Amino acid sequence: MFRARTHRDRARHPGLAILLKDRIADVAQFVETVRQVAAGATVIDPQVVRQLLRREDPTSRLAPRDREVLSLVTEGHSNAAIAAQLFVTEAAVDKHIGNIFSKLGLPPNEDQNRHVVAVLTYLDGRSATG
């Protein structure tokens, strides 16, 4: 059963709108949204919902070789072992690991071990896609 909301109801349960600024150009749609919010409704722009539901794997920003290096790090291999397995120098592995930290947004931090955070990010991304 529909019941019109009174002023007192709206005061206790205010509405909410989350809109993208480029979406408010449609005046009629914006006015309708304002009416809905004034009536206590919650209105969320569909584009905002899509962005919230689409979970990007942070490791998708990694180059294939960086992803390969990180995969070997997750298996517990040392830099020397990774270098031997990939037929590259340890300096190249160090450079890939630096790229991984940068692309995952892991600046030097005394409170966290970046290797561990990178491994957890990799494993979390694999569990979300697999």
Asked whether residue 125 carries a pLDDT value surpassing 80, the answer given is no
Which of 129, 108, 111, 118 is CA-nearest to residue 74? 118
Q: Is the pLDDT of residue 97 over 90?
A: yes
Taking the model in full, what pTM does it have? 0.57
* Confidence band for 22, pLDDT divided at 50, 70 and 90: confident
What is the band of 8 on the pLDDT scale with cuts at 50, 70, 90? low
Instruction: State percent of the chain over pLDDT 90.
Output: 38
Least confident range from 34-38, 99-103, 116-120: namely: 34-38
The Cα–Cα gap between 39 and 37 comes to 5
First to last CA, the chain: 44
**Predicted local confidence at residue 12, as pLDDT:** 58
**DSSP of 61-103, one letter per residue?**
GS-HHHHHHHHHHHTT--HHHHHHHHTS-HHHHHHHHHHHHHH
Q: Mean pLDDT, the chain, as a whole number?
A: 82
What are 35-90's pLDDT values in tens digits? 888 888 888 888 877 776 666 788 888 999 999 999 999 999 999 999 999 999 99
Separation of alpha carbons 71 and 123, rounded Å: 9
